[in-house]
Protein backbone atom coordinates (compact mmCIF):
# COMPACT_ATOMS: atom_id res chain seq x y z
CA UNK A 1 0.00 0.00 0.00
CA UNK A 2 2.85 2.39 0.86
CA UNK A 3 4.45 1.74 -2.54
CA UNK A 4 1.17 2.46 -4.30
CA UNK A 5 0.83 5.74 -2.42
CA UNK A 6 4.39 6.77 -3.32
CA UNK A 7 3.74 5.90 -6.96
CA UNK A 8 0.63 8.06 -6.86
CA UNK A 9 2.62 10.98 -5.45
CA UNK A 10 5.19 10.58 -8.23
CA UNK A 11 2.44 10.78 -10.84
CA UNK A 12 1.09 13.97 -9.28
CA UNK A 13 4.57 15.45 -9.02
CA UNK A 14 5.21 14.63 -12.67
CA UNK A 15 2.02 16.39 -13.68
CA UNK A 16 3.15 19.46 -11.79
CA UNK A 17 6.54 19.40 -13.50
CA UNK A 18 4.92 19.08 -16.91
CA UNK A 19 2.32 21.83 -16.41
CA UNK A 20 1.60 23.82 -19.51
CA UNK A 21 3.21 27.18 -20.07
CA UNK A 22 0.84 30.04 -20.81
CA UNK A 23 1.84 33.26 -22.50
CA UNK A 24 -0.05 36.25 -23.78
CA UNK A 25 -0.64 35.85 -27.50
CA UNK A 26 -0.84 38.34 -30.39
CA UNK A 27 -4.35 39.50 -29.46
CA UNK A 28 -3.03 40.61 -26.08
CA UNK A 29 -0.24 42.73 -27.61
CA UNK A 30 -0.54 46.34 -28.82
CA UNK A 31 -0.33 46.70 -32.60
CA UNK A 32 0.31 49.72 -34.74
CA UNK A 33 -2.67 50.80 -36.78
CA UNK A 34 -5.21 49.36 -34.35
CA UNK A 35 -7.48 52.11 -32.96
CA UNK A 36 -6.90 52.40 -29.23
CA UNK A 37 -9.55 53.09 -26.66
CA UNK A 38 -9.13 55.30 -23.62
CA UNK A 39 -9.19 54.34 -19.94
CA UNK A 40 -10.35 56.87 -17.37
CA UNK A 41 -10.37 56.31 -13.61
CA UNK A 42 -13.14 57.36 -11.23
CA UNK A 43 -14.26 56.97 -7.62
CA UNK A 44 -17.82 55.94 -6.84
CA UNK A 45 -18.82 57.51 -3.56
CA UNK A 46 -20.40 55.38 -0.81
CA UNK A 47 -23.97 54.33 -1.45
CA UNK A 48 -26.82 52.40 0.08
CA UNK A 49 -25.64 48.82 -0.43
CA UNK A 50 -22.13 49.15 1.02
CA UNK A 51 -22.47 52.08 3.42
CA UNK A 52 -19.42 54.23 3.99
CA UNK A 53 -17.47 52.32 1.33
CA UNK A 54 -16.18 54.03 -1.82
CA UNK A 55 -15.33 52.03 -4.94
CA UNK A 56 -12.54 52.75 -7.39
CA UNK A 57 -13.41 52.00 -10.98
CA UNK A 58 -12.18 52.71 -14.47
CA UNK A 59 -13.99 52.95 -17.79
CA UNK A 60 -12.57 51.82 -21.12
CA UNK A 61 -14.16 53.55 -24.11
CA UNK A 62 -13.35 52.14 -27.56
CA UNK A 63 -12.15 54.42 -30.33
CA UNK A 64 -15.26 53.40 -32.27
CA UNK A 65 -17.67 54.62 -29.55
CA UNK A 66 -20.72 56.38 -30.97
CA UNK A 67 -22.58 58.36 -28.33
CA UNK A 68 -25.74 58.33 -30.43
CA UNK A 69 -26.10 54.55 -30.12
CA UNK A 70 -26.64 52.38 -27.03
CA UNK A 71 -23.30 50.64 -26.46
CA UNK A 72 -22.68 47.08 -25.21
CA UNK A 73 -20.53 46.79 -22.12
CA UNK A 74 -18.82 44.37 -19.77
CA UNK A 75 -18.12 44.75 -16.08
CA UNK A 76 -14.87 43.26 -14.78
CA UNK A 77 -14.69 42.55 -11.07
CA UNK A 78 -11.27 43.04 -9.48
CA UNK A 79 -10.94 45.62 -12.22
CA UNK A 80 -7.33 46.60 -11.55
CA UNK A 81 -6.21 43.04 -12.24
CA UNK A 82 -8.13 42.94 -15.52
CA UNK A 83 -6.53 46.24 -16.51
CA UNK A 84 -3.06 45.06 -15.49
CA UNK A 85 -0.26 43.61 -17.54
CA UNK A 86 -1.16 39.97 -16.83
CA UNK A 87 -4.58 40.23 -18.52
CA UNK A 88 -4.59 43.45 -20.59
CA UNK A 89 -8.30 43.58 -21.28
CA UNK A 90 -8.17 47.04 -22.94
CA UNK A 91 -5.54 45.80 -25.41
CA UNK A 92 -7.59 42.69 -26.12
CA UNK A 93 -10.68 44.84 -26.63
CA UNK A 94 -8.80 47.08 -29.08
CA UNK A 95 -7.66 44.12 -31.17
CA UNK A 96 -10.90 42.13 -31.17
CA UNK A 97 -13.03 45.19 -31.88
CA UNK A 98 -10.76 46.15 -34.80
CA UNK A 99 -11.16 42.63 -36.22
CA UNK A 100 -14.95 42.77 -35.71
CA UNK A 101 -14.79 39.69 -33.47
CA UNK A 102 -16.61 41.46 -30.65
CA UNK A 103 -18.81 44.54 -30.94
CA UNK A 104 -17.42 47.94 -29.95
CA UNK A 105 -18.06 47.90 -26.23
CA UNK A 106 -17.33 49.80 -23.07
CA UNK A 107 -15.41 48.11 -20.27
CA UNK A 108 -16.17 48.92 -16.63
CA UNK A 109 -13.40 47.82 -14.27
CA UNK A 110 -14.49 48.00 -10.65
CA UNK A 111 -12.44 47.09 -7.59
CA UNK A 112 -14.01 45.77 -4.39
CA UNK A 113 -14.68 48.41 -1.78
CA UNK A 114 -12.61 49.17 1.29
CA UNK A 115 -14.27 50.84 4.27
CA UNK A 116 -11.66 53.30 5.57
CA UNK A 117 -10.62 53.04 9.19
CA UNK A 118 -11.57 55.88 11.48
CA UNK A 119 -7.90 56.44 12.40
CA UNK A 120 -4.45 55.17 11.44
CA UNK A 121 -4.48 53.00 14.55
CA UNK A 122 -7.38 50.97 13.21
CA UNK A 123 -7.70 48.47 10.38
CA UNK A 124 -9.83 49.02 7.30
CA UNK A 125 -12.74 46.73 6.52
CA UNK A 126 -12.06 44.90 3.26
CA UNK A 127 -15.32 44.24 1.46
CA UNK A 128 -14.24 41.87 -1.32
CA UNK A 129 -15.53 38.63 0.18
CA UNK A 130 -18.73 40.26 1.41
CA UNK A 131 -19.41 41.76 -2.01
CA UNK A 132 -18.44 38.88 -4.27
CA UNK A 133 -18.75 35.65 -2.32
CA UNK A 134 -22.48 35.79 -1.68
CA UNK A 135 -25.64 34.41 -3.22
CA UNK A 136 -27.73 37.44 -2.27
CA UNK A 137 -29.08 40.22 -4.47
CA UNK A 138 -26.97 42.92 -2.81
CA UNK A 139 -24.11 42.99 -5.30
CA UNK A 140 -26.33 42.88 -8.39
CA UNK A 141 -28.36 45.71 -6.87
CA UNK A 142 -25.15 47.68 -6.30
CA UNK A 143 -24.21 47.23 -9.96
CA UNK A 144 -27.65 48.12 -11.30
CA UNK A 145 -28.59 50.93 -8.94
CA UNK A 146 -25.24 52.59 -8.26
CA UNK A 147 -22.32 51.64 -10.53
CA UNK A 148 -24.06 51.37 -13.90
CA UNK A 149 -26.05 54.61 -13.43
CA UNK A 150 -22.80 56.41 -12.59
CA UNK A 151 -21.25 55.25 -15.87
CA UNK A 152 -24.48 55.76 -17.81
CA UNK A 153 -24.36 59.40 -16.76
CA UNK A 154 -21.24 59.74 -18.92
CA UNK A 155 -21.80 57.20 -21.71
CA UNK A 156 -24.71 55.74 -23.64
CA UNK A 157 -24.95 52.22 -22.20
CA UNK A 158 -27.24 49.62 -23.71
CA UNK A 159 -30.14 48.35 -21.61
CA UNK A 160 -30.42 45.12 -23.59
CA UNK A 161 -29.30 42.18 -21.40
CA UNK A 162 -27.73 40.54 -24.49
CA UNK A 163 -25.41 43.58 -24.64
CA UNK A 164 -24.24 43.20 -21.06
CA UNK A 165 -21.51 40.91 -19.75
CA UNK A 166 -19.75 40.20 -16.46
CA UNK A 167 -16.33 38.80 -15.68
CA UNK A 168 -14.86 37.62 -12.41
CA UNK A 169 -11.85 35.80 -11.03
CA UNK A 170 -11.91 33.38 -8.07
CA UNK A 171 -14.46 34.72 -5.60
CA UNK A 172 -15.18 37.38 -8.20
CA UNK A 173 -16.36 34.62 -10.53
CA UNK A 174 -19.06 33.81 -8.00
CA UNK A 175 -19.99 37.50 -7.83
CA UNK A 176 -20.20 37.75 -11.63
CA UNK A 177 -22.24 34.56 -12.00
CA UNK A 178 -24.63 35.45 -9.19
CA UNK A 179 -25.27 38.94 -10.58
CA UNK A 180 -26.43 37.32 -13.83
CA UNK A 181 -28.23 34.46 -12.06
CA UNK A 182 -30.16 36.84 -9.82
CA UNK A 183 -30.86 39.33 -12.62
CA UNK A 184 -31.06 37.50 -15.94
CA UNK A 185 -33.26 40.33 -17.13
CA UNK A 186 -30.11 42.51 -17.03
CA UNK A 187 -27.08 40.30 -17.81
CA UNK A 188 -26.75 37.42 -20.28
CA UNK A 189 -22.98 36.81 -20.53
CA UNK A 190 -20.51 35.63 -17.86
CA UNK A 191 -16.77 34.90 -17.80
CA UNK A 192 -15.75 32.76 -14.83
CA UNK A 193 -12.01 32.30 -14.17
CA UNK A 194 -10.80 29.90 -11.41
CA UNK A 195 -14.26 30.18 -9.86
CA UNK A 196 -14.57 29.65 -6.11
CA UNK A 197 -17.62 27.37 -6.24
CA UNK A 198 -16.67 25.82 -2.91
CA UNK A 199 -18.10 25.86 0.61
CA UNK A 200 -17.09 29.32 1.75
CA UNK A 201 -20.30 31.35 1.76
CA UNK A 202 -22.74 29.10 -0.04
CA UNK A 203 -21.43 28.86 -3.61
CA UNK A 204 -21.01 25.09 -3.22
CA UNK A 205 -24.81 24.86 -3.31
CA UNK A 206 -25.03 26.43 -6.77
CA UNK A 207 -24.72 23.23 -8.83
CA UNK A 208 -27.74 21.73 -7.09
CA UNK A 209 -29.74 24.93 -7.53
CA UNK A 210 -28.76 25.15 -11.20
CA UNK A 211 -29.95 21.59 -11.83
CA UNK A 212 -33.30 22.19 -10.13
CA UNK A 213 -34.05 25.69 -11.37
CA UNK A 214 -35.73 26.58 -14.63
CA UNK A 215 -32.85 27.62 -16.94
CA UNK A 216 -32.14 31.30 -17.44
CA UNK A 217 -30.88 32.99 -20.64
CA UNK A 218 -27.22 33.12 -19.59
CA UNK A 219 -24.10 32.09 -21.53
CA UNK A 220 -21.14 31.08 -19.32
CA UNK A 221 -17.46 30.59 -20.14
CA UNK A 222 -15.53 28.81 -17.36
CA UNK A 223 -11.82 28.22 -16.79
CA UNK A 224 -9.85 26.48 -14.07
CA UNK A 225 -6.57 24.63 -13.59
CA UNK A 226 -5.97 21.08 -12.42
CA UNK A 227 -3.47 22.44 -9.88
CA UNK A 228 -5.83 25.04 -8.41
CA UNK A 229 -5.35 24.63 -4.64
CA UNK A 230 -3.74 21.23 -5.29
CA UNK A 231 -0.41 19.88 -4.01
CA UNK A 232 1.12 16.40 -4.50
CA UNK A 233 0.38 15.34 -0.95
CA UNK A 234 -3.25 16.44 -1.18
CA UNK A 235 -4.58 15.85 -4.73
CA UNK A 236 -8.18 16.58 -3.76
CA UNK A 237 -7.60 20.08 -2.45
CA UNK A 238 -5.78 21.86 0.35
CA UNK A 239 -8.69 24.03 1.49
CA UNK A 240 -11.30 23.34 4.18
CA UNK A 241 -13.89 24.52 1.65
CA UNK A 242 -13.36 21.88 -1.02
CA UNK A 243 -11.64 21.36 -4.36
CA UNK A 244 -11.61 24.08 -7.01
CA UNK A 245 -11.06 21.69 -9.96
CA UNK A 246 -13.76 19.30 -8.79
CA UNK A 247 -16.30 22.00 -8.00
CA UNK A 248 -15.73 23.84 -11.28
CA UNK A 249 -16.38 20.59 -13.11
CA UNK A 250 -19.51 19.96 -11.03
CA UNK A 251 -20.72 23.49 -11.74
CA UNK A 252 -20.09 23.01 -15.46
CA UNK A 253 -21.92 19.67 -15.43
CA UNK A 254 -24.92 21.26 -13.73
CA UNK A 255 -25.09 24.05 -16.31
CA UNK A 256 -24.70 21.56 -19.15
CA UNK A 257 -27.39 19.29 -17.66
CA UNK A 258 -29.83 22.18 -17.60
CA UNK A 259 -29.20 23.14 -21.22
CA UNK A 260 -27.08 26.27 -20.76
CA UNK A 261 -24.69 27.50 -23.42
CA UNK A 262 -21.58 26.78 -21.35
CA UNK A 263 -17.95 25.94 -21.97
CA UNK A 264 -15.26 24.79 -19.51
CA UNK A 265 -11.57 25.04 -20.32
CA UNK A 266 -9.35 23.12 -17.89
CA UNK A 267 -5.64 23.85 -17.88
CA UNK A 268 -2.81 22.86 -15.59
CA UNK A 269 -2.18 26.07 -13.66
CA UNK A 270 -2.98 26.85 -10.05
CA UNK A 271 -5.04 29.64 -8.53
CA UNK A 272 -3.81 32.40 -10.79
CA UNK A 273 -4.64 34.15 -14.05
CA UNK A 274 -1.75 32.82 -16.15
CA UNK A 275 -4.04 30.66 -18.26
CA UNK A 276 -6.96 33.07 -17.89
CA UNK A 277 -4.92 35.97 -19.23
CA UNK A 278 -3.61 33.87 -22.12
CA UNK A 279 -7.05 32.72 -23.23
CA UNK A 280 -8.90 35.97 -22.56
CA UNK A 281 -9.19 36.76 -26.32
CA UNK A 282 -10.66 33.33 -27.07
CA UNK A 283 -12.96 33.54 -24.06
CA UNK A 284 -14.31 36.88 -25.26
CA UNK A 285 -14.76 35.57 -28.81
CA UNK A 286 -16.74 32.60 -27.52
CA UNK A 287 -18.81 34.72 -25.14
CA UNK A 288 -19.81 37.19 -27.86
CA UNK A 289 -20.03 34.79 -30.79
CA UNK A 290 -23.11 35.23 -32.95
CA UNK A 291 -23.75 38.73 -31.68
CA UNK A 292 -26.27 40.39 -31.91
CA UNK A 293 -28.40 37.21 -31.94
CA UNK A 294 -30.12 36.96 -28.54
CA UNK A 295 -29.18 34.39 -25.94
CA UNK A 296 -32.24 32.23 -25.25
CA UNK A 297 -33.10 29.24 -23.08
CA UNK A 298 -32.77 25.80 -24.64
CA UNK A 299 -33.87 22.46 -23.29
CA UNK A 300 -31.09 19.90 -23.08
CA UNK A 301 -31.95 17.47 -25.93
CA UNK A 302 -30.30 14.62 -24.02
CA UNK A 303 -33.20 14.72 -21.55
CA UNK A 304 -35.23 12.75 -24.07
CA UNK A 305 -32.64 10.03 -24.55
CA UNK A 306 -33.18 6.52 -23.11
CA UNK A 307 -32.02 6.11 -19.55
CA UNK A 308 -32.56 9.72 -18.49
CA UNK A 309 -34.09 9.98 -15.02
CA UNK A 310 -37.69 11.09 -15.66
CA UNK A 311 -38.16 12.64 -12.23
CA UNK A 312 -38.11 16.36 -11.62
CA UNK A 313 -37.49 17.74 -15.10
CA UNK A 314 -38.51 21.38 -15.31
CA UNK A 315 -39.65 21.00 -18.89
CA UNK A 316 -41.96 18.17 -17.94
CA UNK A 317 -43.90 20.94 -16.19
CA UNK A 318 -43.19 23.98 -18.38
CA UNK A 319 -42.94 24.78 -22.08
CA UNK A 320 -39.47 26.12 -22.90
CA UNK A 321 -40.81 28.72 -25.31
CA UNK A 322 -43.92 29.88 -23.44
CA UNK A 323 -42.95 32.34 -20.69
CA UNK A 324 -45.00 34.24 -18.13
CA UNK A 325 -47.60 36.66 -19.43
CA UNK A 326 -48.88 39.55 -17.36
CA UNK A 327 -52.66 39.77 -17.06
CA UNK A 328 -53.46 43.38 -17.85
CA UNK A 329 -56.53 45.15 -16.56
CA UNK A 330 -57.83 47.94 -14.38
CA UNK A 331 -57.15 46.12 -11.13
CA UNK A 332 -54.82 47.83 -8.68
CA UNK A 333 -53.37 44.88 -6.76
CA UNK A 334 -54.16 41.19 -6.97
CA UNK A 335 -54.16 38.62 -4.18
CA UNK A 336 -55.16 34.95 -3.88
CA UNK A 337 -56.23 33.76 -7.34
CA UNK A 338 -58.71 30.86 -7.50
CA UNK A 339 -60.04 29.02 -10.56
CA UNK A 340 -63.50 27.71 -11.41
CA UNK A 341 -64.45 24.78 -13.65
CA UNK A 342 -64.43 26.98 -16.77
CA UNK A 343 -60.87 28.20 -16.24
CA UNK A 344 -61.86 31.67 -14.99
CA UNK A 345 -59.63 33.12 -12.30
CA UNK A 346 -61.09 35.12 -9.42
CA UNK A 347 -58.81 37.34 -7.37
CA UNK A 348 -59.22 39.93 -4.66
CA UNK A 349 -58.23 43.54 -5.28
CA UNK A 350 -57.90 45.02 -1.77
CA UNK A 351 -57.05 48.52 -2.98
CA UNK A 352 -60.18 48.71 -5.13
CA UNK A 353 -62.20 46.82 -2.49
CA UNK A 354 -63.54 44.30 -4.96
CA UNK A 355 -63.19 40.80 -6.41
CA UNK A 356 -62.21 40.64 -10.07
CA UNK A 357 -62.54 37.83 -12.60
CA UNK A 358 -59.99 37.09 -15.34
CA UNK A 359 -61.41 34.98 -18.15
CA UNK A 360 -59.29 32.43 -20.09
CA UNK A 361 -58.84 35.03 -22.85
CA UNK A 362 -57.16 37.36 -20.34
CA UNK A 363 -59.88 39.98 -20.02
CA UNK A 364 -60.58 41.26 -16.51
CA UNK A 365 -63.97 42.32 -15.18
CA UNK A 366 -65.36 43.16 -11.75
CA UNK A 367 -67.12 40.19 -10.16
CA UNK A 368 -68.09 41.73 -6.80
CA UNK A 369 -67.64 45.26 -5.55
CA UNK A 370 -67.67 46.94 -2.15
CA UNK A 371 -65.83 44.18 -0.34
CA UNK A 372 -62.54 44.28 1.54
CA UNK A 373 -60.33 42.38 3.95
CA UNK A 374 -60.11 39.18 1.91
CA UNK A 375 -56.95 37.10 2.35
CA UNK A 376 -57.93 33.90 0.53
CA UNK A 377 -60.27 32.77 -2.25
CA UNK A 378 -61.20 29.22 -3.29
CA UNK A 379 -63.87 27.79 -5.58
CA UNK A 380 -65.82 24.89 -4.09
CA UNK A 381 -67.23 21.79 -5.73
CA UNK A 382 -70.63 23.53 -5.59
CA UNK A 383 -69.31 26.29 -7.88
CA UNK A 384 -69.47 28.97 -5.19
CA UNK A 385 -66.52 31.25 -4.48
CA UNK A 386 -65.38 31.05 -0.84
CA UNK A 387 -63.55 33.97 0.78
CA UNK A 388 -61.82 34.36 4.13
CA UNK A 389 -62.12 37.73 5.89
CA UNK A 390 -60.02 37.43 9.05
CA UNK A 391 -60.43 41.09 9.99
CA UNK A 392 -64.19 40.51 10.14
CA UNK A 393 -63.64 37.07 11.70
CA UNK A 394 -65.75 35.26 9.12
CA UNK A 395 -65.80 33.20 5.92
CA UNK A 396 -68.33 34.01 3.20
CA UNK A 397 -69.25 32.55 -0.17
CA UNK A 398 -70.54 34.02 -3.42
CA UNK A 399 -72.71 32.47 -6.10
CA UNK A 400 -72.12 32.89 -9.84
CA UNK A 401 -74.22 36.08 -9.82
CA UNK A 402 -72.43 37.49 -6.76
CA UNK A 403 -75.04 36.64 -4.11
CA UNK A 404 -73.36 36.51 -0.70
CA UNK A 405 -73.76 34.02 2.13
CA UNK A 406 -72.05 33.91 5.48
CA UNK A 407 -70.50 30.46 5.93
CA UNK A 408 -69.29 30.92 9.49
CA UNK A 409 -68.40 33.58 12.03
CA UNK A 410 -65.79 33.89 14.77
CA UNK A 411 -62.88 32.43 12.80
CA UNK A 412 -59.64 34.14 11.80
CA UNK A 413 -58.82 32.20 8.65
CA UNK A 414 -55.68 33.29 6.81
CA UNK A 415 -55.88 30.71 3.99
CA UNK A 416 -58.58 28.16 3.22
CA UNK A 417 -58.98 24.84 1.40
CA UNK A 418 -62.46 23.62 0.49
CA UNK A 419 -63.16 19.89 0.23
CA UNK A 420 -65.51 18.12 -2.16
CA UNK A 421 -68.11 17.63 0.57
CA UNK A 422 -68.11 21.30 1.55
CA UNK A 423 -65.83 21.19 4.59
CA UNK A 424 -63.23 23.95 4.93
CA UNK A 425 -59.76 23.67 6.43
CA UNK A 426 -58.06 26.93 7.36
CA UNK A 427 -54.85 28.29 8.83
CA UNK A 428 -55.06 30.63 11.81
CA UNK A 429 -51.82 32.58 12.10
CA UNK A 430 -52.86 34.45 15.23
CA UNK A 431 -53.26 31.23 17.20
CA UNK A 432 -50.77 29.10 15.17
CA UNK A 433 -53.39 26.45 14.51
CA UNK A 434 -55.24 24.68 11.72
CA UNK A 435 -59.03 24.69 11.93
CA UNK A 436 -61.91 22.81 10.32
CA UNK A 437 -65.43 23.95 9.47
CA UNK A 438 -67.38 20.80 8.72
CA UNK A 439 -70.29 20.58 6.28
CA UNK A 440 -72.76 21.32 9.09
CA UNK A 441 -70.92 24.55 10.02
CA UNK A 442 -69.33 23.28 13.24
CA UNK A 443 -65.87 24.81 13.87
CA UNK A 444 -63.03 23.08 15.69
CA UNK A 445 -59.25 23.15 15.92
CA UNK A 446 -57.69 20.12 14.23
CA UNK A 447 -54.03 20.96 14.81
CA UNK A 448 -52.43 22.93 17.63
CA UNK A 449 -49.26 20.92 18.09
CA UNK A 450 -46.91 23.89 17.96
CA UNK A 451 -44.80 22.49 15.13
CA UNK A 452 -45.40 25.48 12.87
CA UNK A 453 -44.34 29.00 13.79
CA UNK A 454 -46.34 30.74 11.05
CA UNK A 455 -48.94 28.46 9.43
CA UNK A 456 -49.75 30.14 6.14
CA UNK A 457 -50.79 28.40 2.91
CA UNK A 458 -53.02 25.33 2.88
CA UNK A 459 -54.19 22.90 0.19
CA UNK A 460 -55.49 19.37 -0.34
CA UNK A 461 -53.88 16.40 -2.04
CA UNK A 462 -55.54 15.32 -5.33
CA UNK A 463 -57.42 12.50 -3.56
CA UNK A 464 -58.34 14.83 -0.66
CA UNK A 465 -56.75 12.38 1.77
CA UNK A 466 -54.07 14.82 3.00
CA UNK A 467 -53.80 18.47 3.97
CA UNK A 468 -50.58 20.33 3.21
CA UNK A 469 -49.72 23.39 5.28
CA UNK A 470 -46.81 25.77 4.77
CA UNK A 471 -44.83 27.37 7.56
CA UNK A 472 -43.81 30.87 6.45
CA UNK A 473 -40.93 30.80 8.92
CA UNK A 474 -39.48 27.29 8.64
CA UNK A 475 -38.00 25.59 5.59
CA UNK A 476 -40.33 22.65 6.28
CA UNK A 477 -43.96 22.41 5.20
CA UNK A 478 -46.29 19.88 6.76
CA UNK A 479 -48.38 16.95 5.55
CA UNK A 480 -51.36 15.76 7.61
CA UNK A 481 -53.58 12.77 6.96
CA UNK A 482 -57.31 13.47 7.17
CA UNK A 483 -58.92 11.18 9.74
CA UNK A 484 -62.39 9.61 9.18
CA UNK A 485 -63.96 12.31 11.39
CA UNK A 486 -62.25 15.10 9.42
CA UNK A 487 -59.54 15.73 12.00
CA UNK A 488 -55.87 15.84 11.12
CA UNK A 489 -53.54 13.07 12.23
CA UNK A 490 -49.96 11.88 11.79
CA UNK A 491 -48.59 15.29 10.84
CA UNK A 492 -44.99 15.50 9.64
CA UNK A 493 -42.66 18.30 8.42
CA UNK A 494 -42.64 16.40 5.15
CA UNK A 495 -41.50 18.91 2.50
CA UNK A 496 -38.03 20.45 2.75
CA UNK A 497 -37.69 23.71 0.81
CA UNK A 498 -34.69 25.68 -0.38
CA UNK A 499 -34.24 28.77 1.78
CA UNK A 500 -33.71 32.30 0.47
CA UNK A 501 -30.29 33.83 0.97
CA UNK A 502 -31.82 36.97 2.45
CA UNK A 503 -33.35 36.74 5.89
CA UNK A 504 -34.09 33.73 8.03
CA UNK A 505 -37.68 32.93 7.04
CA UNK A 506 -38.87 30.73 4.19
CA UNK A 507 -41.81 33.03 3.34
CA UNK A 508 -43.60 29.99 1.90
CA UNK A 509 -47.04 31.56 1.87
CA UNK A 510 -49.08 29.71 -0.76
CA UNK A 511 -49.32 26.10 -1.93
CA UNK A 512 -51.15 24.05 -4.57
CA UNK A 513 -50.98 20.48 -5.97
CA UNK A 514 -51.29 19.06 -9.44
CA UNK A 515 -53.21 15.88 -10.22
CA UNK A 516 -50.01 13.84 -10.14
CA UNK A 517 -49.29 14.78 -6.52
CA UNK A 518 -46.53 17.32 -7.13
CA UNK A 519 -46.71 20.22 -4.66
CA UNK A 520 -46.06 23.83 -5.70
CA UNK A 521 -44.84 26.29 -3.05
CA UNK A 522 -44.65 30.07 -3.56
CA UNK A 523 -41.29 31.19 -2.11
CA UNK A 524 -38.77 34.01 -2.58
CA UNK A 525 -36.47 31.77 -4.64
CA UNK A 526 -39.27 30.91 -7.06
CA UNK A 527 -42.04 28.35 -7.20
CA UNK A 528 -40.54 25.28 -5.59
CA UNK A 529 -42.00 22.03 -6.86
CA UNK A 530 -41.77 19.04 -4.55
CA UNK A 531 -42.19 15.50 -5.75
CA UNK A 532 -44.80 13.49 -3.82
CA UNK A 533 -41.93 12.04 -1.77
CA UNK A 534 -41.15 15.49 -0.30
CA UNK A 535 -38.01 16.43 -2.27
CA UNK A 536 -37.66 19.71 -4.14
CA UNK A 537 -37.01 18.71 -7.75
CA UNK A 538 -37.87 21.85 -9.69
CA UNK A 539 -37.72 25.59 -9.07
CA UNK A 540 -39.76 27.66 -11.53
CA UNK A 541 -38.52 31.20 -12.08
CA UNK A 542 -40.62 34.13 -10.94
CA UNK A 543 -42.06 36.35 -13.69
CA UNK A 544 -40.01 39.42 -12.72
CA UNK A 545 -36.53 38.89 -11.17
CA UNK A 546 -36.37 42.41 -9.77
CA UNK A 547 -39.46 41.75 -7.63
CA UNK A 548 -37.48 39.33 -5.46
CA UNK A 549 -39.39 37.68 -2.67
CA UNK A 550 -42.84 38.96 -3.56
CA UNK A 551 -44.62 35.88 -4.97
CA UNK A 552 -47.62 35.92 -2.66
CA UNK A 553 -49.89 33.26 -4.12
CA UNK A 554 -50.28 30.66 -6.84
CA UNK A 555 -53.17 28.83 -8.48
CA UNK A 556 -53.93 26.44 -11.33
CA UNK A 557 -56.67 26.79 -13.92
CA UNK A 558 -57.87 23.92 -16.08
CA UNK A 559 -57.66 24.22 -19.85
CA UNK A 560 -55.92 22.92 -22.95
CA UNK A 561 -53.26 23.41 -21.82
CA UNK A 562 -53.74 24.18 -18.14
CA UNK A 563 -52.34 27.43 -16.77
CA UNK A 564 -50.33 28.28 -13.69
CA UNK A 565 -51.13 31.67 -12.18
CA UNK A 566 -49.01 33.64 -9.71
CA UNK A 567 -49.28 36.97 -8.01
CA UNK A 568 -45.98 38.82 -7.79
CA UNK A 569 -45.75 42.31 -6.33
CA UNK A 570 -49.50 42.70 -6.74
CA UNK A 571 -49.50 41.80 -10.44
CA UNK A 572 -51.20 38.70 -11.88
CA UNK A 573 -49.25 36.48 -14.30
CA UNK A 574 -49.91 33.17 -16.00
CA UNK A 575 -48.14 30.65 -18.19
CA UNK A 576 -49.25 27.38 -19.80
CA UNK A 577 -48.11 24.16 -18.14
CA UNK A 578 -47.97 20.51 -19.14
CA UNK A 579 -49.46 19.22 -15.87
CA UNK A 580 -53.12 19.13 -14.90
CA UNK A 581 -54.36 20.74 -11.68
CA UNK A 582 -55.86 18.93 -8.73
CA UNK A 583 -59.47 20.16 -8.56
CA UNK A 584 -61.89 19.93 -5.68
CA UNK A 585 -64.83 18.84 -7.86
CA UNK A 586 -62.99 15.79 -9.30
CA UNK A 587 -60.75 14.07 -6.71
CA UNK A 588 -58.26 11.59 -8.11
CA UNK A 589 -55.80 9.15 -6.61
CA UNK A 590 -52.29 10.18 -7.65
CA UNK A 591 -49.75 7.54 -8.71
CA UNK A 592 -47.49 5.93 -6.16
CA UNK A 593 -44.48 8.22 -5.62
CA UNK A 594 -40.96 7.20 -6.49
CA UNK A 595 -38.84 6.33 -3.52
Q: Going residue by residue through the chain (595 aa), what tens digit of pLDDT does each one get?
A: 455 444 444 444 544 445 689 999 999 999 999 999 999 999 999 999 999 999 999 999 999 999 999 999 999 999 999 999 999 999 999 999 999 999 999 999 999 999 999 999 999 999 999 999 999 999 999 999 999 999 999 999 999 999 999 999 999 999 999 999 999 999 999 999 999 999 999 999 999 999 999 999 999 999 999 999 999 999 999 999 999 999 999 999 999 999 999 999 999 999 999 999 999 999 999 999 999 999 999 999 988 888 888 788 999 999 999 999 999 999 999 999 999 999 999 999 999 999 999 999 999 999 999 998 999 999 999 999 999 999 999 999 999 999 999 999 999 999 999 999 999 999 999 999 999 999 999 999 999 999 999 999 999 999 999 999 999 999 999 999 999 999 999 999 999 999 998 888 999 999 999 999 999 999 999 999 999 999 999 999 999 988 777 899 999 999 999 999 999 999 999 999 999 999 999 999 999 988 7
At residue 18, the pLDDT reads 57
- In sequence order, which residues have a C-beta less than 8 Å from that of residue 305 and are 6 or more positions away? none
At residue 503, the pLDDT reads 81
Superfamily name and number for 320-577: TolB, C-terminal domain (2.120.10.30)
How many residues appear in the chain?
A: 595
Report the C-alpha gap between 528 and 68 in whole angstroms: 44
Report the C-alpha gap between 519 and 536 in whole angstroms: 9
Give the residue among 205, 210, 227, 221 at the shortest CA–CA distance from 173. Answer: 221
Radius of gyration, CA atoms only, the chain: 28
442 by Cβ neighbours in 10 Å (0-12 / 13-18 / 19+) ranks as: exposed
Report the C-alpha gap between 229 and 238 in whole angstroms: 6
At residue 85, the pLDDT reads 97
Q: 156 with 521: CB under 8 angstroms?
A: no
User: Which ranges in the chain are annotated with CATH 3.40.50.1820?
Assistant: 2-287
Give the torsion sign (CA, 289, 188, 135, 309): negative
CATH class of residue range 2-287: alpha beta
User: Which ranges in the chain are annotated with CATH 2.120.10.30?
Assistant: 320-577
Helix (H) or strand (E) holding 254: helix 244-257
Strand partners, 378: 386
Amino acid sequence: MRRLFLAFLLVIAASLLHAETYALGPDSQPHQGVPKGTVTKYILQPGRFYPGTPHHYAVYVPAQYDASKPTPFMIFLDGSQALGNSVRVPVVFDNLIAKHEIPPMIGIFVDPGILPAVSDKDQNRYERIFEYDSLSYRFSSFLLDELIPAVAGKYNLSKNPDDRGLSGVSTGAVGAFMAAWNRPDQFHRVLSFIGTYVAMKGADSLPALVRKTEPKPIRVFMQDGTNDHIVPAEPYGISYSGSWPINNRVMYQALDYSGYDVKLVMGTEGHNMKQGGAIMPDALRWLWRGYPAPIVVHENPAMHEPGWDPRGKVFETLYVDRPWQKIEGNYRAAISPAADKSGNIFFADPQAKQIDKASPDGSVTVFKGSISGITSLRVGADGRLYASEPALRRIVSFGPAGDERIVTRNVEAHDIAVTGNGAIYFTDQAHKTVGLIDASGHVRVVYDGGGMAVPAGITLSPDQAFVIVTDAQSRFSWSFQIAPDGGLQDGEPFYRLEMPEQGWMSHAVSVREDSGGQVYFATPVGIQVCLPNGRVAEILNAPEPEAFGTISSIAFAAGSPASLYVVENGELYRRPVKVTPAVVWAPNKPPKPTL
